[in-house]
């Protein structure tokens, strides 16, 4: 990561994270143990990406993100990604259709932490993603550039992993270019303040 992803956030959102980091540092608490999770960036041929707004009562409520969730006992990150995308959107994928993209570790100051595997997947022909009614209250298909523009105008609040992923994908002219990029995700990236 060439820049600190917290620098991409609006000042009030960054200030909230800075306050959490200060409070954690002063508390002397041990960091929460991260739960493993997987998320899928569904991409249509026109480069639009499926985003959902998490329900307010959920982790990261009110934020726009990609569908996903925690691993269940015995699951690999790819197995969990396939299960989560089907449960949340009705889209059926095979693990072989997933392209590893990122692995983010929630900062130590967060009370709920996740070690999240990000996968890309082309939207399968003949399928469409449905709004995950118990997980989100809105869903949209946007190009990475459109989503970034709406975030910058304050209309699409996102956390750093989602925003950085969109910025990176904006550099690719086609879905094929995105899906054929090899990235090493063995070590998670954890942003710091």
Q: Is the pLDDT of residue 133 over 80?
A: no
pLDDT at 169: 97
Higher pLDDT, 59 or 78: 78
Q: Is the pLDDT of residue 136 over 90?
A: no
pLDDT at 100: 97
Position 60 confidence tier, pLDDT thresholds 50, 70, 90:
low
Q: Is the pLDDT of residue 1 over 70?
A: no
pLDDT of 163-172, one tens digit each?
999 999 999 9
**C-alpha distances in angstroms, 134 versus 64, 156, 158?**
15, 20, 19
pLDDT at 57: 63
Of 38, 118, 114, nearest in space to 75 by CA = 38
Q: Is the pLDDT of residue 58 over 80?
A: no
Contact indicator for 54, 138 with CB cutoff of 8 Å: no
Q: Is the pLDDT of residue 188 over 80?
A: yes
Least confident piece of the model among 13-22, 86-95, 139-148:
13-22
Residues 6+ apart with CB under 8 A from 51: 64, 65, 66, 139, 140, 141, 142, 147, 156, 162
Mean pLDDT, residues 31-43: 96
């Amino acid at each position: 990561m060439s820049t600190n992803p917290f620098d991409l956030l609006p000042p009030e959102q960054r200030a909230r994270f800075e306050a959490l980091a200060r409070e954690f540092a002063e508390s002397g608490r041990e960091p929460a143990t991260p739960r493993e999770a997987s998320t899928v960036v569904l991409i249509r041929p026109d480069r639009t990406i499926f985003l959902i707004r998490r329900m307010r009562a959920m982790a990261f409520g009110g934020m726009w993100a990609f569908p996903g969730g925690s691993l269940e006992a015995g699951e690999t990150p790819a197995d969990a990604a396939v299960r989560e995308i089907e449960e949340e959107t009705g889209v059926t994928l095979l693990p072989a259709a997933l392209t590893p993209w990122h692995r983010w570790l929630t900062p130590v100051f967060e009370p709920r932490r996740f070690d999240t595997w990000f996968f890309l997947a082309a939207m399968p022909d003949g399928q469409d993603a449905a709004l995950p009614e118990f997980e989100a209250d809105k869903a949209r298909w946007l190009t990475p550039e459109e989503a970034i523009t709406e975030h910058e105008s304050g209309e699409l609040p996102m956390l750093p992993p989602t925003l950085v992923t969109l910025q990176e994908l904006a550099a690719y002219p086609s879905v094929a270019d995105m899906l054929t990029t090899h990235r090493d995700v063995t070590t998670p990236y954890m942003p710091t303040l």
